[in-house]
Amino acid sequence: MSSTPAAREPDDRDPNGNSSYGHKPFKRSRSHFADRITADGRDGWPVEAGRYRLVVSRACPWASRALVSRRLLGLESALSLAVADPLQDDRSWRFTLDEGGRDPVLGIRYLSEAYEAREHDHPGGVSVPAIVDVPSKALVTNDYQQITLDLATEWTGLHRPGAPDLYPERLRDEIDEVMEGIYRDVNNGVYRAGFAGEQGEYEAAYVDVFRRLDLVSERLAGQRYLVGDTLTEADIRLFTTLVRFDAVYHGHFKCNRNKLTEDPVLWAYVRDLYQTPGFGDTVDFDHIKQHYYRVHTGINPTGIVPLGPDLSGWLTPHHREELGGRPFGDGTPPGPVPPGEEVPARGKP
């Protein structure tokens, strides 16, 4: 989690980082490592099957974008996956879910080791998603705003047959405009509300969140997807916030004007996406709740994780197909989740 000029989260390496949430102004820092992995390798990092490893936390909405994109595009065999423990400590995201507490490919215990291999004493925190160069075990990029765009446009030579075009050139201006408002007011807005240290700061963010959600709800009332009649990057970016809304943002971040389940349009839209291969099969509700409620001790000092909400509604009919639209355009759905990447039963409805 972390990035862009709009704000900065507490440094993951700061011993007071977790407890400082809600006690100092919230800023999300710009990605320090913004190299791009491209088809022509112009930044020194050419697209190459098997060379890179994507490090994520299933708790993190920014990392979840990359999880969804990778699945939809069929890049699982080309870009391997490391899943960090949702409970990072003051040394950063850690690989305690793996045998021996080490990532089996990179051989490291903490993601911070890949950051240090790239630049010793680098500024900023240790964030996910991160793409690491396997041969050198050094970080390549943590620019979450660009990573998924490049997976869609630069990694095309490794896409599966039938992969959707998630960033079609003819729609990019509209996609960018829609994503900008959603990022500012929703993706980042819930954090501005949740980590606000003053009443006025919180109220301003709260107003922005629900003003934008109302606009998005109006937009989606008559069309199945945000832009055009197929899935795009814009839908991925909205989904990763909406899927967390009732579980953590409504209560933990005090975005409580209404639950997502109380907006018929948005609730149907996000269920439609959740039930689409490549979306819901990347979501771990257990990791999401464990991370937010146990790591953000500044705003939940007891560390108590709520038992709710009831997840059974995620699998109920949504009827969004009645609006038309073709989720994958002229393409096809992704195949089954690769062995070893399945979300455990406790994280699913």
Active-site residue, selected from the candidate residues 191, 202, 206, 225 = 191
Residue with tokens 């630069």: 154
Q: How far is CA 346 from the centre of its chain?
A: 20
Q: What is residue 64's three-state secondary structure?
A: helix
Nearest to residue 290, comparing CAs of 252, 237, 336, 328?
A: 252
Q: Which residues pair with 34 in a beta bridge?
A: 141
Asked whether 77 and 70 are in contact (CB, 8 A), the reply is no
Integer angstrom CA distances of residue 252 from 141, 200, 269, 293: 30, 18, 23, 7
Phi first, then psi, for residue 85 (nearest 5°) are -60, 135
Active-site residue, selected from the candidate residues 52, 60, 110, 115 = 60
What is the distance between the alpha carbons of residues 105 and 53, in angstroms, rounded to a whole number? 8
Q: H helices of 13-84, where?
A: 61-73
What is the distance between the alpha carbons of residues 56 and 77, in angstroms, rounded to a whole number? 16
Residue 114 — left, alpha, or beta (φ > 0 → left; ψ -120 to 50 → alpha)? alpha
What is the distance between the alpha carbons of residues 316 and 280, in angstroms, rounded to a whole number? 13
Can 191 be counted among the known catalytic residues? yes
List residues with catalytic annotation: 60, 191
